[in-house]
Amino acid sequence: MERHDAIVIGGGLNGLTAAAYLARAGVDVLLVERNERLGSAAAGYDIRPGFRMPRFTLGTVSLPAHTVSDLELTKFGLRLMRVDGGISLTGEGRYHASYRDGLMHRRELARLSVKDADAWTRFRRDMLRANLALRDVLAHPMRDPSRRTLAAFRGLLSGADKVAAKPSEDMHDLLRIWSMPMADFLDSYFTSDLIKLHLAAKALAGTTLGPYSPSSARFLMNAFMGEAEGAAGGAPATVLAMGGPEAVANALAASIEAHGGRVRTEAEVTDVILRDGKARGVALADGAEVYANAILSDLDLKRTFLALFPWNELPKGFVERVSRFRMRGVTAKINLALDAMPEFPALPDGCPALQGGLRLVTSMMSLERAYDDWRDHLPPRLPLVEMLIPSMTDRSLAPQGKHVMSVAVHYVPEFLHDGPWSNERRDRLSDLVISEIAAHSPDFKDKILSTETLVPPDIESEVGLTAGDFEQGEMTLDQMFFNRPMPGLAGYDTPIANFYLCSGSAHPGALETGGAGAGAAARVAVALGHAPIHRKGSVL
């Protein structure tokens, strides 16, 4: 009978991060992954021989620096590259780019509006300030404020103390960013439509809100999450991993194995073995059973409880509540192999910001309409198109002179108002998007060697994310902080003893930082009687 201290179900970023922290803490940990490759949606594949790219995600990385250092990922082969932050391209051939260098970015803003170039200082300050205010919240597992324990009460008091110490103006600013619609929030800083659209399109990509939805402004600060306060004053960098985002998963797996943990791929968990209402182990698809004192699930909340447990063993009403957890797919992926670098005549030659990706934008109103279409489950008419050509930066991804292009298409519903996604509908989507790109890059269609279109149901069936939702549960205020994944379930514990949730469905959510995995690992290490895991920074 195989037995370990802990089992992690699922080899996504959070599961790998949890297992890596546990292994370093001396826990005998086994990670099981259903697919052949680690990394969940970020796993890589060859679209054609020699052309390597992430299958479902765009391919940027937002791993926090202290995770890299805590887990010694550099030693295990991870190489991160910081590039400029990307470009937005409008239909009329205008463009706006993000540069990391403060002076360069200032000149770029001044090209559109000199006033906005100066307003950038205040915008950047407020973004960093909002992140600073959030840092403490994200650094600790959330406590349920309604739980009447002494510790919870103390936590509430110290939180209230911090709030009381803030000048009221700072509270006003915080309330503004957490409650305002993004478009209105941007109006209070910038005058140039293109600058506002550039920031909005980047922040809204992959979210389930539109630019005029209340509380959408908060997504603006995500881009600044990893920015050092003292950085050069430009736009936030885009980070790529040498070898693609799967390199992060591979480095984490190497870190786990170097510390005595085990990683097993092509091993699908079919059931969690319960005894006396407590989780004791997992049953694998090949019939094997593995036992452990703690079991962590890197699957989303719905898949975890609705697929791995007999429903009658779960507490009354829990199944129903889990089924109401909101998960909705919003992103499709078009993978392209290109015979040559596409040209974009609107851009100046050699623009370095192209390495950070390219977005096609029209207007704030059309962004809102794309969101409306998504909400109404209409086939996308003018979706938000985000492109990344990682082979510009990392030449190992494609043969010499050739390129791979990731296209993330946002505001794509998981099913259409009149039925599921058909092959014809998929083709129509990719035709629409490729024509859209070709309108900015004349000979684009001739350069395409291979193409593959993947819509949210494909993500669900291949990766297991319910509804193809990368956020693993919408990041709306009712499903965040101590409400994540649901009221009464803050922290990483679940109603089943010995069973923990370490996926993006738990706090702080699917931020592509491994934060939930690190937080769950800290919880489990204590539960197993190990010394608390010392982390240099926050959960993020």
Name the segment binding other proteins (CB under 8 A); options: 121-129, 337-345, 384-392, 402-410: 121-129
Nearest to 51 by CA among 447, 353, 425: 447
CA distance 482 to 135: 15
Judge whether 117 and 110 are in contact, CB under 8 Å: yes
Name the segment binding other proteins (CB under 8 A); options: 29-37, 125-133, 203-211, 514-522: 125-133
Our CA angle for 242, 520, 480, nearest 5°, is 90
Is 118 an interacting residue with respect to other proteins (CB under 8 A)? yes
Task: Out of 68, 81, 110, 438, name the contact with other proteins by CB under 8 A.
Answer: 110
Q: Closer to other proteins at the Cβ: 344 or 482?
A: 344
Is 229 an interacting residue with respect to other proteins (CB under 8 A)? yes
* Alpha helical stretches, state H, 100-258: 102-112, 114-139, 150-165, 168-179, 182-187, 193-204, 246-258
Q: What SS3 state is found at 281?
A: strand
Q: Closer to other proteins at the Cβ: 56 or 120?
A: 120
Task: Out of 284, 338, 353, 454, name the contact with other proteins by CB under 8 A.
Answer: 353
Task: Return the number of other C-beta atoms located less than 10 Å from residue 470's C-beta.
Answer: 24
Question: Does residue 390 have a cis peptide bond before it, meaning omega lies within 30 degrees of 0?
Answer: no
485: its two tokens: 């994944």
- Smallest gap from Cβ 249 to other proteins, in A, equals 33
- Smallest gap from Cβ 348 to other proteins, in A, equals 4
Q: Closer to other proteins at the Cβ: 118 or 427?
A: 118
Name the segment binding other proteins (CB under 8 A); options: 20-28, 124-132, 142-150, 205-213: 124-132
- Smallest gap from Cβ 429 to other proteins, in A, equals 31
Residues 128-147 that bind other proteins (CB under 8 A): 128-129, 132
Q: Closer to other proteins at the Cβ: 126 or 300?
A: 126
Task: Out of 2, 69, 74, 114, name the contact with other proteins by CB under 8 A.
Answer: 114
The DSSP-derived string for 43-97 is -EEEEETTEEEESSS-------HHHHHHTTTTTTT--EEEE--EEEEETTS-EEE
Judge whether 356 and 28 are in contact, CB under 8 Å: no
CA 462 to chain centre: 18
Task: Return the number of other C-beta atoms located less than 10 Å from residue 79's C-beta.
Answer: 13
Is 350 an interacting residue with respect to other proteins (CB under 8 A)? yes
Nearest to 29 by CA among 6, 63, 11: 6
Q: Closer to other proteins at the Cβ: 189 or 444?
A: 189
Residues 412-471 that bind other proteins (CB under 8 A): none
Task: Tell me the sheet residues that pair with 86.
Answer: 98
Q: What track of x and - describes contact with other proteins for positions 67 through 106 (by CB under 8 A)?
A: -----------------x---------x--x-x-x-xxxx
Our CA angle for 218, 224, 226, nearest 5°, is 130
Burial 128-137 (b: 16+ CB within 10 A, else e): bbbbebbeeb
Is 107 an interacting residue with respect to other proteins (CB under 8 A)? yes
Q: Closer to other proteins at the Cβ: 174 or 409?
A: 174
Q: Closer to other proteins at the Cβ: 226 or 329?
A: 226
Residues 185-214 that bind other proteins (CB under 8 A): 187, 191-195
Q: Closer to other proteins at the Cβ: 181 or 504?
A: 181
Q: Closer to other proteins at the Cβ: 127 or 360?
A: 127
- Smallest gap from Cβ 256 to other proteins, in A, equals 36
Q: Closer to other proteins at the Cβ: 69 or 121?
A: 121
CA 428 to chain centre: 27
Is 125 an interacting residue with respect to other proteins (CB under 8 A)? yes
Q: Closer to other proteins at the Cβ: 34 or 105?
A: 105
**CB < 8 Å & 24+ apart, contacts of 464-467:** 464/10, 464/34, 464/40, 464/299, 464/300, 464/303, 465/40, 465/41, 465/300, 465/303, 465/327, 465/329, 466/300, 466/302, 466/303, 466/327, 467/327, 467/328, 467/329, 467/414
Is 237 an interacting residue with respect to other proteins (CB under 8 A)? no
Q: Closer to other proteins at the Cβ: 36 or 349?
A: 349
Is 323 an interacting residue with respect to other proteins (CB under 8 A)? no
Q: How many residues bind other proteins (CB under 8 A)?
A: 43
- Smallest gap from Cβ 239 to other proteins, in A, equals 19
Distances (CA, A) of 197 to 90, 333, 364, 521: 10, 22, 6, 39
Nearest to 293 by CA among 116, 66, 69, 500: 500
Is 365 an interacting residue with respect to other proteins (CB under 8 A)? no
Residues 259-278 that bind other proteins (CB under 8 A): none
Residue keyed to tokens 């697929």: 307
Instruction: Report the chain's terminal Cα–Cα distance, integer Å.
Output: 37
Name the segment binding other proteins (CB under 8 A); options: 165-173, 254-262, 279-287, 525-533: 165-173
* Alpha helical stretches, state H, 283-411: 301-308, 318-323, 364-375
- Smallest gap from Cβ 185 to other proteins, in A, equals 15
Residues that bind other proteins (CB under 8 A): 84, 94, 97, 99, 101, 103-108, 110-119, 121-122, 125, 128-129, 132, 166-167, 169-170, 187, 191-195, 229, 348, 350-353
